[in-house]
Amino acid sequence: MRFSQLLLGLIVLAGNPLLAQGPYDQAFNPDVPAPDGFRTNRTSYSAIMDVLAAERPQVSEEQLDQLRDVPLEVIFSAIGDYRLNYVTGFATTRPGERLVGRALTMRFLPARPDLVRAANVLAAEGNWDRRYYARAAEEAQPGDVVVAELGGSDGHNLFGDMGAIGIKLRGANGVVVDGGMRDLTGLQDDRFAGFPVLHRFTDPHTTLWLGVEYNAPVKIGGVTVLPGDIVVGDEGGVFFFPPDLLEPVLEYAAETEAREAFQLQQLENKQYRFRDIYPLSPELQQEFERTQR
Amino acid sequence: MRFSQLLLGLIVLAGNPLLAQGPYDQAFNPDVPAPDGFRTNRTSYSAIMDVLAAERPQVSEEQLDQLRDVPLEVIFSAIGDYRLNYVTGFATTRPGERLVGRALTMRFLPARPDLVRAANVLAAEGNWDRRYYARAAEEAQPGDVVVAELGGSDGHNLFGDMGAIGIKLRGANGVVVDGGMRDLTGLQDDRFAGFPVLHRFTDPHTTLWLGVEYNAPVKIGGVTVLPGDIVVGDEGGVFFFPPDLLEPVLEYAAETEAREAFQLQQLENKQYRFRDIYPLSPELQQEFERTQR
Amino acid sequence: MRFSQLLLGLIVLAGNPLLAQGPYDQAFNPDVPAPDGFRTNRTSYSAIMDVLAAERPQVSEEQLDQLRDVPLEVIFSAIGDYRLNYVTGFATTRPGERLVGRALTMRFLPARPDLVRAANVLAAEGNWDRRYYARAAEEAQPGDVVVAELGGSDGHNLFGDMGAIGIKLRGANGVVVDGGMRDLTGLQDDRFAGFPVLHRFTDPHTTLWLGVEYNAPVKIGGVTVLPGDIVVGDEGGVFFFPPDLLEPVLEYAAETEAREAFQLQQLENKQYRFRDIYPLSPELQQEFERTQR
Amino acid sequence: MRFSQLLLGLIVLAGNPLLAQGPYDQAFNPDVPAPDGFRTNRTSYSAIMDVLAAERPQVSEEQLDQLRDVPLEVIFSAIGDYRLNYVTGFATTRPGERLVGRALTMRFLPARPDLVRAANVLAAEGNWDRRYYARAAEEAQPGDVVVAELGGSDGHNLFGDMGAIGIKLRGANGVVVDGGMRDLTGLQDDRFAGFPVLHRFTDPHTTLWLGVEYNAPVKIGGVTVLPGDIVVGDEGGVFFFPPDLLEPVLEYAAETEAREAFQLQQLENKQYRFRDIYPLSPELQQEFERTQR
Amino acid sequence: MRFSQLLLGLIVLAGNPLLAQGPYDQAFNPDVPAPDGFRTNRTSYSAIMDVLAAERPQVSEEQLDQLRDVPLEVIFSAIGDYRLNYVTGFATTRPGERLVGRALTMRFLPARPDLVRAANVLAAEGNWDRRYYARAAEEAQPGDVVVAELGGSDGHNLFGDMGAIGIKLRGANGVVVDGGMRDLTGLQDDRFAGFPVLHRFTDPHTTLWLGVEYNAPVKIGGVTVLPGDIVVGDEGGVFFFPPDLLEPVLEYAAETEAREAFQLQQLENKQYRFRDIYPLSPELQQEFERTQR
Amino acid sequence: MRFSQLLLGLIVLAGNPLLAQGPYDQAFNPDVPAPDGFRTNRTSYSAIMDVLAAERPQVSEEQLDQLRDVPLEVIFSAIGDYRLNYVTGFATTRPGERLVGRALTMRFLPARPDLVRAANVLAAEGNWDRRYYARAAEEAQPGDVVVAELGGSDGHNLFGDMGAIGIKLRGANGVVVDGGMRDLTGLQDDRFAGFPVLHRFTDPHTTLWLGVEYNAPVKIGGVTVLPGDIVVGDEGGVFFFPPDLLEPVLEYAAETEAREAFQLQQLENKQYRFRDIYPLSPELQQEFERTQR
């Protein structure tokens, strides 16, 4: 309920122009059956992603590297309606390390006997490991960040240090788990430099929940994360936004950095009132722009 | 993490006999594409349900009616490993009314601009209303219970009294929303007798989260609910279990009811020690069995 | 942080056109001293209310009575940017009774020895009782609702049944205390019909916090309440809005009631799809308007 | 309700000797009007402070410096009835740095449209910035500690690094915000050495709540803070007490330090039982006093 | 930490006059061994109760009946330093029913294999049922209230309706369980009139924690309950105090009832100011005393 | 309720073969009286420990030292049904330091006047200090870990730095307090290297609760700790298990360390799939076993 308020204006009015009035007893088209082998696709099927896939560009390693130094407050100001797509409350295994990459998402559900049977069948047919962290240790790509919906603070563990080393060896940049992990001491080892794991809790138990969707939309904290989203953050909080916003963010960041440096210098000069500098008064704005030429 | 502990023994040992040792760089089959129209199937595609569908029988109205009077504690004792598939912490619009039916599930995600666009596209193509409660008001069947994953206590509203009356008019038995609702006063009206709505909170806001899967697996509290599950409970708590367990539950309930009546009578007789009656000592068990012939 | 998001667009851009650039070391005007007797004014001084007083009209008993039957969801839709000025989480002494009236506000602070001394001095000079509930039992007007900022769930008690009867005898309509009360059993007595007390908790302790402002702005839950605000709600939640909005709310309510009755009738007719009725399709909207002439 | 228990004995009996019995329908003096310009006094008017101002002495920088090394537990023992005027649960931007100074208080309220209008009017008339952190960046004095009531964990942000540098440049010693802040990374920079910000949470949003009282009594956690109070603490907890207690605290601290050093030495000697040393037995007390001559 | 503040003055100064200074390496007396059969005493051994037993009188059924109608706020005022021995936060099976009686206490601990073995040994040797609720169903006396320390909101279930009927049939007045229970629906049945069960939560699980002390001191909420304490309360809160205070409480209640009736009459007369009536001014106090002769 | 689920199977079936059917009105043996001096035994009497004492061996310093380096996850896998005897949520005074030792337990109860009197009587008769931390500072043995049940997050303080130094000087290894402590800054001093104190909170208050059992069973978090249990953990969590399990744990740890080193090496070789290495495929298991000869 909380963070979505700002979206109200944008969304509610969108309307649905094509709906014509119809009868109470409607006849609907029958469901289209799934083709053979479809159920063991490596990327789980999502109707939402089927619609959105076309509008989501690939981003480069260079772009991700540039993002690594942009303050979160600058990103906040640059991503428009996605600025509420922000999640807090994580602990990290690497204090002070920024996590940047592309979301490789996983959705987990609590175990029950029939769900376990089904997950075993799919794993056998699809030639993957039922443990989704083990799948990531075999399938993740460089620059990926594993993003796992796992029940939050009331949830379950994703993995321990052995699973983490497997994922890191594939070139992934880290993990955001809305749930727990084990082997905290192991994951704080220098071996894991550059591979922060943001998590809700740690405990020594093994994983029981079951991965049911791989690279499909998930809920992390109170926001939606789509596969391929840009992930950027640290233990203070994490933003998730669509890849087409990455370039505008980088441009905005360059401009902001220059202006804030100018403002800081003005503050230290103690010549003008605070309110004339932050934000810049028209006169100081002009002076700033002169310095930028 | 909590309730699943009992399942450990059952699950962990299941093993995976067919995995043979393979190379680090594996070649995987390419994904099978979705056929035309597939993305607007009325029942959202779930690989899990694709596997399980065959083993889930239809249950009759008569069976559901019988279940209505079985105490939750008796169900607890009769459903084996599903006895942890139980969720508490709901408020109800109809105190004291039991909710019984088949799960019609919905999964919601927090809004973001691209998700809204995609949901609009799918609604237009599939001829449904983007608001999933409105879909249920057009598509629900008699005996259905709407079961909505909607963010829990930190989530959003499902509907208000207008949506609820729409769903009730289709013959549905009620709603379990792991999230909120509005129009509490309206939903307490006699018009809604026999249609309890179990919910986490009420507030006057309109719905913003988006339905992304319809009749696919969802998480409610700390358990998994599958479409077609038997739903039974009240504000004290709700059980969700597979339809093939309904018949055994009803048989067990009949036997338990008789035994507890016998035990109560023995207690009031004040002839034997409490521990001889609850549970029945061998002698009293024999006596009980005589009364049952 | 939560509920105010919607206000962002409205507020942030307001700007402050008269600020010209100034020097770091500013010279400010000296403070204007308070005149004799000023500190014991019955209405505590608030610079904010000094500005706003002129724009806040008196409302009549008839208007308040009409508001008594308007559903909270209708008020939500009618009060624009104040629809987030809504507070939940209260218990009530009169379940099912609606509370409506004008806010008589009180701000309390935790006790410390110097604060106690000062409160005693002011009470003696001002001829009031240091206990603010006792002040209300001597000064409240018909139609008033006492609205007390008292620390929320971590706060303190406002009063017990004796204070409540004193306030009720003055014609007040009830109390909203963001804090606690004692004598729950007494306050549930029929004597208190028509005088609901919405509160966060009950316990048997006597009051220790000190009233420091009387009829000045207060914080209740996550919103601001100004003296003279319209108060309307029940244990499900309470709205607080400025008195100039009362007339528009009543007009909107009349229109909505008619439309919802029409929609309900259409739903029960089972002639059209849910989405054609809620909201009304253009055709049904025309038909509705015909019925209203 | 919690921390004030100890005060009960001190407060409740204070009585109010001058109240004579009076009639139900009392005639009260009319309110004294506020003089022109009064509403934009830089220090907001508080009747409580009007009474107390005379008894609150100025403290020197030297006194504050001495306080910097006194353990919190010693302060606890030295401030009598103020020992419950203690607040915990803050995070800090400067782990291990002690915060000491004089309280410059600010009270914030959640935004609503009329409140925004009023705050804008006052800021324009009073020649200050509506953002209270910007006011502090123009008006704070050396040794000040900004103490902001801002809704606690459910509240809002006070400022970011630009506001903080503005306040620090005026010589202030730090900030206690019962609410949030942004730019955590920036505020952990060495630039901010000697300027800890104690806060409840961090997030990237900009400030929306409105400052309504400047240098008037506020509530922080469960205690009252008055402008000019001595502030001393760190992330473990903060004490707030009146300036006239500072000298007695420093004297008590000197004595305690000597005694605890003596006790520690005795413990390490392993000659006497623990209970003879802590507290000192009469014999050891005499020995200690000899060492102090 | 919370409720005990008031006790500070009473307790801390008590001193310990007999301690003489002693050497670091003390020689202590060896432990006295437990006699045969001692470990299966029906009342578990407590050194604290060994000291206190002599000062705890028996109370009569008549006294308990009189207490049934005394408001909790009156008890609060009459029990001196025990007024903080008050616990809130319970749900009840019998809304509005007062629970009054003598504490029959039970302490439970979470299960672990060795603890289970030991509890089985003791139950076998002592001829009782390992389930402590079953013990109470065989050993409770008329007027008893079972008071069970069972982990609070994070704890476990005490019993279900069968155990409750067993305890009720022995004449017990009800139960306070700082933990959970099952069979809520059953316990709301009319069969249980006059037998309220105050509890923290309900759920359908069976009991796993183990009773380890029977009729020994326990912790309920944040207070200590001793076996034989007077228990009085309802879902609003429960007081526990020593039996020697019962008579003074009843005397104080009689006086208070008369005075409050007089005050209420005075308030309704609308002749005097609220503060002259509550508390009574000297003149009205005299008038009241005249009415009491 | 939570962690004990796994124990269900083990416990519930244990049965109680000796119970024969008996009459409602049973005659019980009278209680065996406590011998003189019994109530001031240094180890408080517990019927449970009376049964279990024989099966609890002494462990050596060498064994405890070896345990210091075993990862918690390995201990988890090695202690069978005790793997749920694990408690999280502590803060530590020595981040990164492992705490290992034998439990010296203490049970505290909230103060009330009669309890204070009794505790004073027992302390005087037994020649100990009523403050149990002071008892530990006179009676603890090398390798002990003080484990105090003190109300958890809602509880009270155990001690401050002076009490801690007293306990450390006796050779104890540290403290686990399910409650609070004071003097955080002091306890972080290098003086306390090798003496971590795991605690729930810190605050400056002195202790008010009373020690009522010394070296008897206690509840820490949601588990039972018996005197003499092995304690091992850090701020991430703490295991408590019976001393007879220590040797099997050490053996299991040695084997696991070797296997994980082998697995890590295999992962880094990037020759096989993750799932073939973790767990080891039959082929790799054979290879591993060859390396171990």
Residue B93 and residue B197 in contact, taking contact as beta carbons nearer than 8 Å: yes
Q: What is the pLDDT of residue B204?
A: 81
Selecting from A21, A272, A281 the residue whose C-beta is nearest the C-beta of C24 gives A272
E2 pLDDT more than 50: no
**pLDDT digits 0-9 by tens, A192-241:** 999 999 999 998 877 789 999 999 999 999 999 999 999 999 988 999 99
Radius of gyration for chain A, computed over Cα atoms and rounded to the nearest angstrom = 23
Q: Give the DSSP per-residue string, C102-117.
A: EEEEEEEE---HHHHH
Strand pairing report for D230-234 and A144-149: unpaired
Selecting from E110, E115, E242 the residue whose C-beta is nearest the C-beta of F114 gives E242
Q: How many residues would you count in chain C?
A: 293
Q: Reply yes or no: is the peptide bond before residue B279 cis, omega within 30 of 0.
A: yes
**Mean local confidence (pLDDT), A109-121:** 98
**pLDDT digits 0-9 by tens, C184-234:** 989 999 999 999 999 999 988 777 899 999 999 999 999 999 999 999 999
* Interchain proximity F71–A185, CB inside 8 Å: yes
* Interchain proximity A169–F267, CB inside 8 Å: yes
Q: Which residue has the tokens 């990237």?
A: D204
**Mean local confidence (pLDDT), F114-135:** 97
Residue D217 and residue D224 in contact, taking contact as beta carbons nearer than 8 Å: yes
CA–CA separation, D67 and D46 (whole Å): 29
B5 pLDDT more than 50: no
pLDDT band with cut points at 50, 70 and 90 for residue D14: very low
* F142: three-class secondary structure by DSSP: coil
* B159: three-class secondary structure by DSSP: coil
* Interchain proximity D76–F205, CB inside 8 Å: yes
Contacts of F236 in chain A (CB under 8 A): 184-185, 202
Using a 10 angstrom Cβ sphere, with 0-12 exposed, 13-18 middle and 19 or more buried, the burial of residue E21 is: middle
The secondary structure element, H or E, covering residue A149 is: strand A144-149
Q: Dig out the tokens for F240 from the structure.
A: 């408590």
Q: Which residue has the tokens 């007083």?
A: C53
**Mean local confidence (pLDDT), A105-131:** 97
Q: Dig out the tokens for A114 from the structure.
A: 């029939």
**pLDDT digits 0-9 by tens, B191-218:** 999 999 999 999 887 778 999 999 999 9
Using a 10 angstrom Cβ sphere, with 0-12 exposed, 13-18 middle and 19 or more buried, the burial of residue E188 is: middle
Radius of gyration for chain D, computed over Cα atoms and rounded to the nearest angstrom = 23
Radius of gyration for chain E, computed over Cα atoms and rounded to the nearest angstrom = 23
> What ipTM does this complex have?
0.91
Residue C150 and residue C179 in contact, taking contact as beta carbons nearer than 8 Å: yes
Chain F closest-CA separation from residue B272 CA (Å): 4
Q: How many CB atoms lie within 10 A of CB B244?
A: 13
Residue A248 and residue A57 in contact, taking contact as beta carbons nearer than 8 Å: no
Q: Give the DSSP per-residue string, C181-241.
A: ES-HHHHTSGGGTT--EEEEEE-SPPP-SEEEEESS-EEETTEEE-TT-EEEEETTEEEEE
F66 CB contacts (<8 Å, ≥6 apart)? F250, F253
CA–CA separation, A241 and A243 (whole Å): 6
| Interface residue of D6, D24, D287 to substitute, partner E, most E CBs within 10 Å | D24
Residue from D247, D225, D237 nearest D102 by CA: D225
Selecting from D8, D23, D270 the residue whose C-beta is nearest the C-beta of E24 gives D270
* Interchain proximity A110–B155, CB inside 8 Å: no
Selecting from F5, F272, F283 the residue whose C-beta is nearest the C-beta of B24 gives F272
Residue C105 and residue C215 in contact, taking contact as beta carbons nearer than 8 Å: yes
pLDDT band with cut points at 50, 70 and 90 for residue D4: very low
Q: What is the pLDDT of residue B9?
A: 35
Chain F closest-CA separation from residue D37 CA (Å): 45
CA–CA separation, E285 and A60 (whole Å): 86
D12 pLDDT more than 60: no
Mark residue F280 as left, alpha or beta (left: phi above 0; alpha: psi -120 to 50; beta: remaining).
beta
**pLDDT digits 0-9 by tens, A161-194:** 999 999 999 999 999 999 999 999 899 999 999 9
Mark residue B51 as left, alpha or beta (left: phi above 0; alpha: psi -120 to 50; beta: remaining).
alpha
Counts of helices then strands in chain F (DSSP H, E): 11, 11
DSSP F68: T
What CA–CA distances, in Å, run from F231 to F59, F146, F147, F151? 12, 10, 9, 19
Closest chain E CA to residue C123: E275
| Interface residue of E2, E11, E88 to substitute, partner F, most F CBs within 10 Å | E11
State which of B10-24, B65-79, F220-234 shows the largest mean pLDDT.
Answer: F220-234
Q: How many residues would you count in chain D?
A: 293
Q: What is the pLDDT of residue E205?
A: 79
Q: What is the pLDDT of residue F207?
A: 74
**pLDDT digits 0-9 by tens, A70-110:** 999 899 989 999 998 999 999 999 998 999 999 999 999 99
Contacts of F281 in chain B (CB under 8 A): 19, 21
| Interface residue of D2, D5, D16, D81 to substitute, partner E, most E CBs within 10 Å | D5
**Mean local confidence (pLDDT), C258-285:** 96
User: Are chains C and E in touch, 3+ Cβ pairs below 8 Å?
Assistant: yes
Residue from B109, D182, B112 nearest A76 by CA: D182
Closest chain B CA to residue E130: B275
Residues of chain F with pLDDT > 70, as a percent, come to 94
Q: What is the pLDDT of residue A14?
A: 40
**Mean local confidence (pLDDT), E54-61:** 93
pLDDT band with cut points at 50, 70 and 90 for residue D3: very low
Residue type, B215: N
Contacts of C71 in chain B (CB under 8 A): 183, 185-186
What is the signed CA dihedral for F6, F10, F12, F15, rounded to 10 degrees? -170
**Mean local confidence (pLDDT), D29-50:** 97
Please give the mean pLDDT across all residues of chain D: 92
C200 CB contacts (<8 Å, ≥6 apart)? C89, C90, C91, C152, C153, C155, C177, C178, C179, C180
φ, ψ of residue D204 to 5 degrees: the values are -85, 5
Radius of gyration for chain F, computed over Cα atoms and rounded to the nearest angstrom = 23
CA–CA separation, F2 and D226 (whole Å): 45
Please give the mean pLDDT across all residues of chain E: 92
CA–CA separation, F170 and D270 (whole Å): 9
Q: What is the pLDDT of residue C236?
A: 83
B6 pLDDT more than 90: no
Q: Dig out the tokens for A34 from the structure.
A: 């799934």
Long-range pairs, E30-33, Cβ under 8 A, ≥24 = E31/F41, E31/F42, E31/F43, E32/F35, E32/F36, E32/F37, E32/F38, E32/F41
Long-range pairs, D12-15, Cβ under 8 A, ≥24 = D12/C206, D14/C116, D14/C120
**pLDDT digits 0-9 by tens, E142-159:** 999 999 999 999 999 999
Q: What is the pLDDT of residue D21?
A: 86
Residue from B242, B244, B237 nearest B72 by CA: B237
E strands of E36-125, at which residues? 86-87, 91-92, 99-109
Q: What is the pLDDT of residue B19?
A: 52
Closest chain B CA to residue A119: B48
Q: What is the pLDDT of residue C185?
A: 87
* Interchain proximity C203–E71, CB inside 8 Å: no
* D168: three-class secondary structure by DSSP: helix
* E41: three-class secondary structure by DSSP: coil
Chain D closest-CA separation from residue C143 CA (Å): 18
User: Are chains C and D in touch, 3+ Cβ pairs below 8 Å?
Assistant: yes
Strand pairing report for A197-202 and A91-92: antiparallel
Closest chain C CA to residue E76: C204
B13 pLDDT more than 80: no
Residue A145 and residue A102 in contact, taking contact as beta carbons nearer than 8 Å: yes
Interface residues of chain D, partner chain F, Cβ below 8 Å: 71-73, 75-76, 83, 86, 88, 234, 236-237, 260, 263-264, 267-268, 270, 273-275, 278
DSSP-based helix, strand, coil % in chain A, nearest 5: 40, 20, 40
| A to D CB pairs, distance under 8 Å | 49
CA–CA separation, B195 and A119 (whole Å): 35
Chain B closest-CA separation from residue C178 CA (Å): 18
Q: Using H for helix, E for strand and C for coil, what is the string for A197-235? A: EEEEEECCCCCCCEEEEECCCEEECCEEECCCCEEEEEC
pLDDT band with cut points at 50, 70 and 90 for residue E19: low
Which chains sit next to C, with 3 or more Cβ pairs under 8 A? Answer: A, B, D, E
CA–CA separation, E73 and B58 (whole Å): 58
CA–CA separation, E13 and F235 (whole Å): 36
What is the signed CA dihedral for B111, B113, B116, B117, rounded to 10 degrees? -170
* D214: three-class secondary structure by DSSP: strand
Residue type, A204: P
Query: ∠ at Cα A112 (B222, E204), nearest 5°?
Result: 60
Q: Mean pLDDT lowest for which of A217-226, D186-195, F199-208? A: F199-208
Contacts of D72 in chain F (CB under 8 A): 185, 204
Residue C105 β-bridge partners:
C147
A154 compared with F11, residue with greater pLDDT:
A154
**Mean local confidence (pLDDT), E106-127:** 97
Closest chain A CA to residue C285: A21
pLDDT band with cut points at 50, 70 and 90 for residue F19: low
Interface residues of chain C, partner chain B, Cβ below 8 Å: 71-73, 75-76, 83, 86, 88, 236-237, 260, 263-264, 267-268, 270, 273-275, 278
